[in-house]
Structure 1
Amino acid sequence: MGMRQTTLSVALEVKPESFDHLSGLLDALRDRRSQNPSGGTGPFADFLTTVPAVHFMSLTAFPGFDYDPLFVIEANFDGAPGPFWAQLETAIGPDLRAFLRCCKRPLDHTGPLYDAVTALDSRAPIAPYLEARTLTPTVYHHGNRGMTRDRILDEGKLFLGTRTELAQSNDGGPSPYRKLTPVEIHAKLRAALLPQFGWLDQKAPARIPFTQSVGDYLRLAWFVLLVVFALSIPGLVLKSQLSWQWYVALCVGLFAVFTGVLYRMGKPLPGTATPTRFSFLTFFLRHLLVPVAIAVAAYVAIAATVSAPVWSWLGHKAFWPAWKDMAIWAAWSGASIAVTVAGILVWLRWLERRDASQDAPPVDPKMLREMARREDWIPQNHMGSVVLIKPGVLRAILIRVGHHGLHLLLRAQKAARNGYLGSMRTIHFAHWARVNNDSRLMFFSNFDQTWESYLDDFIEKAHAGLTLAWSSGVGFPPTRFLVKDGASHGRQFKEWARHSMAVSRFWYSAYKDLTAEQVERNYRIACGLRKKQLSEKEAAAWINDL
């Protein structure tokens, strides 16, 4: 049975007069950990044992511009939140209490917990307060999904063991592995490493258990059905009031009007277009036509089955005649979905054409230098960002529906389950969450390589998903239909992202020398060595990772 991976954050408003003091406390915690910003060594190495489930953790203080400053605890770990918070309190409880005293007292039901935790000489447990203030991400991605921290560390040690064995197996003489076939290399290497790594004789736990996989697909299917139902509601209402002739005429007329308006409004405003081969029509015909048809058919069948007993009782009909009546009604409403979608797109595009974007958002030079000083010490880096969310009813609905759909898709999509966003595998953990009564959008990411190359990867390989997730942010580059342009404005997007970032004053990585791709390489090597024998084909593929 695979262990649950958890991504969460706690966002707390800071007293403005205490922001500098909080920043100093965070820096002091970092300095106690290690003088080297890469971390993971020195006095803070015991963090590995006191918080044994954590993969990555950051403590960030965002300065206040539109709101009071914000203190955010971001964590990615194995298991449930309760034990993690308890372990964190054991590790740095006095520091956490000092941080919380810099924060404002919440006005909701958690106020008494805050009072108990921050009182003078208080020894009240901190974990219940942090658990009560925990935010659930709206979208998250796990680059090495299903890999526990202990497994990543163990397989990292195994990889180093293979390096040592291959390099030193004959005390500097000719390697005995040089003339062996891949099958023989596997057998000899396994025999040499088994005494040191006895777990190679154990069956590897499933990274994504069967029940979890089924749950991912079922939740996505249920979400799609709910969206189809919501989009069909106008059709349900109209069909109940109109004859089929008037209903068809109204739907055809509205669809023609909406598509005509979209044709004129869909063109980019001067200077905002980005080169792209993406076509909504091509994408729909290749990827969405069959799923949409299946979803509508499933909706018709389910709606008829659910409503038939009631209609049978009201209309004094047998079940099957009643089911047929309901199926016809549901089918008529399903046919109106295209009209509803076209109307929503007209409304959305009308808003997008009036959105303001920032061509050169201001960035504090001192903060920029501080962020740059802390980057690129190890193969991994970290970023945190908070942006305002554009107002309006449609935007409020779209950011919730869009984020939830993107989240479910990332859990079910094959490429994302294998750690890829688009074609990029540089992300360990990333998530979005809404804060300040859903008026701001917060993003955190733990990734490989430099910040510049990370965003370049996003812009080139996953710009549509990035635009969908972030296009509701105030000042985001000009966007069309939620996914086009937007993040493809490379320079403008990077400056907007830098403007929204803050210094990661404390950041911890449990395996600071491993990239997301190296974790997968170690995993493949370990899977091969767990097997007592490999076929020639399996061995030939396996040896490429050595």
Structure 2
Amino acid sequence: MRQTTLSVALEVKPESYDHLSSLLDALRDKRSPDPSGGVGPFADFLTRVPALHFLSLSVFPGFDYDPLFVIEANFDGEKGPFWSQLEAAIGEDLRVMLRCCKQPLTRDGELFEAITAADSRAPIAPYLEARTLTPSVYHHGNRGMTRDRILAEAALFKATRVELAGPAGTSPNPYRRMTPGDIHARLRAALLPGFGWLGEKAPARIPLAENVGDWARLTGFILALVFALSLPGLILIFEIPWPRYLILMGVVFAGFAVALKRIGVALPGTATPTRFSFLTLFFKQLLPLALFLLVYLLLVGAIGTPVTMLLTGRGGESAWRDTLEWLAWGLVSLPVTVAGIVFWLRVLERSDSSQDAPPVDDRMLRAMARREDWIPQNHMGSIVLIKPGILRAVLIRVGHLGLGLLLRIIARNGYLGSMRTIHFAHWARVNNGSRLMFFSNFDQTWESYLDDFIEKAHAGLTLAWSSGVGFPPTRFLVKDGASHGSQFKQWARHSMTVSRFWYSAYKNLTADQIERNYRIALGLRKTTLTDKEAALWIEDL
């Protein structure tokens, strides 16, 4: 079943900020005395919203804008049924909170007025669905694992611990004298009566159609990006004879290269040690790049040939040849276009201002600290202003789209590279694209979580966040930036707010433990294992 990540961001009346915050605190206290939840009157979340993994309700104070009320949810299935289930669970509480928000000036205003009127019983789910934001980038840690499956395999893991420990007071434990294959057979036989689903084939975490769709979308994105970057050459070749075209491309590229060599170095005090090199990456990927450009010519040529035939009246063979030739001339201009964009970006980066010591509200910092580290999981929400300018507006959209599509390919087994701490995370643009919002549900402390990012995924983090106002100095969109550990963490803390209401359906499970439970269950679904297979499987027990 597909996992869904979404958020709803609603502007709050400034005079209602404190009241809305108190409503969220009251809802949390009503649910459970434990900030992590899971018991108490609002255990309805476990039954009436059966697909929910994580949910947060936050209110961001107003500095540059009016306050913002954000509902963030991660669940299984489509958003329509989810909003209806959520309304059934806490609909009237949400209605009172919505009355603290500003009425939209768009066509949603009438719907808002209907649901917030005195004594209104109008359903709020349609309004929340209409106001739902699509993430610009999202990551699902334990991808393809439904909430029910996570809970079922967690229960199975606990049962294995009981079975392997044996009855109290008995000795010796029979499992200690068995081979790995015999341990698997006996453990499976003991657990099968209580977990009948072990006799069924495991559902595919990523179905074939979804897998093909991921690759198709990434491929389509790259093809479209290459075509767009080739457009200057595709236009110029119509007007300039090819010898002059080649000379022009060579001269312009050389000019950009010389300028980039001069301004590409880090400004004093902003460089961070790195072994990453664009030139090294280029030469390592030279053969795959050449193969991709060949595929690009063939695929885009096949798409463009019918268009050429329609516009020029040429035959199929002639149109195919002319289309390929035209696309090839466009590829000649590709390095020039990229060099020009990089030069423009680097000029902007050198003029960017960063916040060395952004102010942090001590009272809010204490409130955040009180709600952190109660369980193995934590939650954070952040909003930052986006730097102005057309290039930044394009880069944040294209960069986030590409990063999101790439994550769907490389992060499929519960981990993001070597990081094993993220359950769900996403970015989204709010306030007409002028601010960038980030939410994450993660394991361990906030400090260790960001340290993990800084050490292992700083390039991706810099790409996703470098368009934020005050972000640490960046080079070429992915270098430096988040690698300034202390400065980045202060900047991130400044942008955060208190997670006043946060719910986790499996509060004691880390992302790593969920994957461990999955591997154990996968082995127990099999009727037999060879000793070699069992020896590898038994390492997770």
Q: TM-score range by the shorter chain?
A: over 0.9
Aligned letter for 1:146?
G
What residue in structure 2 maps to residue 292 of structure 1?
Answer: 289
Change in 2 beyond 3 A, CA 1:35/1:315: closer
For the 8 Å contact 2:9–2:69, the answer to whether it is kept is: yes
1:358-373 residue pairs with structure 2 within 5 A? 358-373=355-370
Aligned-pair CA distance for 1:137: 0.3
Q: Which runs of 5+ in 1 are unaligned?
A: none
- 1:89 pairs, out of 87, 100, 107, with 87
What residue in structure 2 maps to residue 396 of structure 1?
Answer: 393
Aligned letter for 1:463?
H
1:333-372 residue pairs with structure 2 within 5 A? 333-372=330-369
CA deviation vs aligned residue, 1:236-258 (integer Å, no higher than 9, x gap): 01111111100000000011000
- 1:199 pairs, out of 197, 200, 215, with 197
What residue in structure 2 maps to residue 462 of structure 1?
Answer: 457
Percent of aligned pairs with the same residue? 72
- 1:74 pairs, out of 72, 75, 90, with 72
CA deviation vs aligned residue, 1:269-303 (integer Å, no higher than 9, x gap): 0000001111111122224x344323322332234
User: What is the rounded CA distance, in whole Å, between the counterparts of 1:368 and 1:79 in structure 2?
Assistant: 35
Aligned letter for 1:232?
S
SS in 1 for 2:70: strand
What residue in structure 2 maps to residue 34 of structure 1?
Answer: 32
Q: Which runs of 5+ in 2 are unaligned?
A: none
What residue in structure 1 maps to residue 252 of structure 2?
Answer: 254
Change in 2 beyond 3 A, CA 1:256/1:197: same
CA deviation vs aligned residue, 1:171-211 (integer Å, no higher than 9, x gap): 43211100000000000000111111111111110000000
1:422-437 residue pairs with structure 2 within 5 A? 422-437=417-432
1:61-460 residue pairs with structure 2 within 5 A? 61-169=59-167, 171-287=169-285, 289-312=286-309, 317-413=314-410, 416-460=411-455
SS in 1 for 2:71: strand
User: What is the rounded CA distance, in whole Å, between the counterparts of 2:147 and 2:307 in structure 1?
Assistant: 53
User: What is the rounded CA distance, in whole Å, between the counterparts of 1:143 and 1:315 in structure 2?
Assistant: 51
For the 8 Å contact 2:139–2:407, the answer to whether it is kept is: yes
- 1:507 pairs, out of 502, 507, 521, with 502
Question: How many residues matched?
Answer: 541
Aligned-pair CA distance for 1:44: 2.2
User: What is the rounded CA distance, in whole Å, between the counterparts of 1:337 and 1:405 in structure 2?
Assistant: 18
User: What is the rounded CA distance, in whole Å, between the counterparts of 1:65 and 1:193 in structure 2?
Assistant: 57
Aligned letter for 1:510?
A
SS in 1 for 2:178: coil
User: What is the rounded CA distance, in whole Å, between the counterparts of 1:232 and 1:486 in structure 2?
Assistant: 29
SS in 1 for 2:351: coil
CA deviation vs aligned residue, 1:23-81 (integer Å, no higher than 9, x gap): 00000000011111121122222320111110000000000000000000000000100
For the 8 Å contact 2:142–2:415, the answer to whether it is kept is: no
User: What is the rounded CA distance, in whole Å, between the counterparts of 2:457 and 2:367 in structure 1?
Assistant: 28
Aligned letter for 1:205?
P
Bigger CA drift: 140-149 or 310-319?
Answer: 310-319
For the 8 Å contact 1:225–1:295, the answer to whether it is kept is: no
What residue in structure 2 maps to residue 43 of structure 1?
Answer: 41
User: What is the rounded CA distance, in whole Å, between the counterparts of 1:14 and 1:311 in structure 2?
Assistant: 53
What residue in structure 2 maps to residue 489 of structure 1?
Answer: 484
User: What is the rounded CA distance, in whole Å, between the counterparts of 2:50 and 2:309 in structure 1?
Assistant: 59
Change in 2 beyond 3 A, CA 1:310/1:541: closer
User: What is the rounded CA distance, in whole Å, between the counterparts of 1:543 and 1:162 in structure 2?
Assistant: 11
Aligned-pair CA distance for 1:503: 0.1
CA deviation vs aligned residue, 1:364-421 (integer Å, no higher than 9, x gap): 00000110110000000000000000000000000000000000000112xx111222
For the 8 Å contact 2:7–2:134, the answer to whether it is kept is: yes
User: What is the rounded CA distance, in whole Å, between the counterparts of 1:495 and 1:31 in structure 2?
Assistant: 30
Aligned letter for 1:133?
R
Change in 2 beyond 3 A, CA 1:315/1:226: closer
- What TM-score do you get using the length of structure 1 for normalisation? 0.97
Aligned-pair CA distance for 1:16: 0.3
Aligned-pair CA distance for 1:310: 4.7
- What TM-score do you get using the length of structure 2 for normalisation? 0.98
SS in 2 for 1:357: coil
Aligned-pair CA distance for 1:326: 1.9
Bigger CA drift: 297-306 or 238-247?
Answer: 297-306
What residue in structure 2 maps to residue 15 of structure 1?
Answer: 13
SS in 2 for 1:37: coil
CA deviation vs aligned residue, 1:421-452 (integer Å, no higher than 9, x gap): 23101000000000000000000000000000
Are 1:540 and 2:540 counterparts?
no
For the 8 Å contact 2:386–2:469, the answer to whether it is kept is: yes
Change in 2 beyond 3 A, CA 1:431/1:314: closer
CA deviation vs aligned residue, 1:322-357 (integer Å, no higher than 9, x gap): 311221111011121011000000000000000000
What residue in structure 2 maps to residue 516 of structure 1?
Answer: 511
What residue in structure 2 maps to residue 526 of structure 1?
Answer: 521
SS in 1 for 2:270: coil
User: What is the rounded CA distance, in whole Å, between the counterparts of 2:203 and 2:310 in structure 1?
Assistant: 52
User: What is the rounded CA distance, in whole Å, between the counterparts of 1:116 and 1:41 in structure 2?
Assistant: 33
For the 8 Å contact 1:300–1:334, the answer to whether it is kept is: no
